[in-house]
Amino acid sequence: GAVVSQHPSWVICKSGTSVKIECRSLDFQATTMFWYRQFPKQSLMLMATSNEGSKATYEQGVEKDKFLINHASLTLSTLTVTSAHPEDSSFYICSASLGQGPYSNQPQHFGDGTRLSIL
Amino acid sequence: KNQVEQSPQSLIILEGKNCTLQCNYTVSPFSNLRWYKQDTGRGPVSLTIMTFSENTKSNGRYTATLDADTKQSSLHITASQLSDSASYICVVSDDYKLSFGAGTTVTVRA
């Protein structure tokens, strides 16, 4: 149980295009979903926390107009990287939790990530 | 600033041997501590989660310990297998957010 599916797994696109990444909880309803970014050989960096039906809470330094997050249902959250540039190339990972907020004792279940390469 | 430091940064062990990974943190107030395993190019998978009152928790060949007084945790891998090759991440939660360690990369060789 507790499977999180992330799609696509790999994206290569030209600079200036927008890319949408989907995160779905397949067998449970996720109260909260999280989006992370990970650079090679570095740990995950939380970008934003989203609760279904409300606006996402972005971490300091993360541009909310650049990284649009929509959490329309308890099983789906999307991250759209708008007008992507080479510096946006990274590994983006989502996670979903039954708990409220990142401090919850409920474990976070991670997707397998999306490798984004901007040419 | 809340910090989570893991050591060693990487290690290589022979199949069948044991190893122990360390995690020191300064996160306060403390809510819980989690260990995750992340295979290359994949998302992290939860191994253990411990709250303040828990000193040890096992998940198969993985055993995590927690000393909340010294703010230290360890992850012990017993009888390592080739499939244990991965990055192991220590994550500490306060009442608001998670703080991630940089991970320890474990390579198990036959």
Closest by Cβ to A110, choosing from B44, B51, B103 = B44
Task: Tell me which of B42, B87, B92 to substitute to probe the interface with A (most A C-beta atoms closer than 10 Å).
Answer: B42
pLDDT band at residue A103 using 50, 70 and 90 as cut-offs: low
Q: What per-residue confidence (pLDDT) applies to B79? A: 98
Amino acid letter, residue B53: S
CA distance B73 to B90: 9
Pairing label, strands A114-118, A10-13: parallel
pLDDT given at position B2: 63
Query: To 10 degrees, the CA torsion angle through A116, A90, A48, A111?
Result: 60
A9-60 pLDDT, tens digit per residue, is: 999 999 999 999 999 999 888 888 999 999 887 888 999 998 887 889 999 9
pLDDT of residue A99: 65
Spans of chain B, pLDDT less than 70 = 1-2
| Residue B46 to residue A109, Cβ atoms within 8 A | yes
For position A86, what pLDDT does the model report?
95
- Compute the distance between CA of residue A95 and CA of residue B94 in angstroms, rounded to an integer: 18
* Residue contacts between A and B (CB atoms, under 8 Å): 54
Q: Rounded to whole angstroms, how far apart are CA atoms A53 and A59?
A: 19
Instruction: Give the pLDDT band of residue A97 (cuts 50, 70, 90).
Output: confident
Which residues in chain A have their CB less than 8 angstroms from residue B42's CB?
A: 112-113
For residue B82, the SS3 value is helix
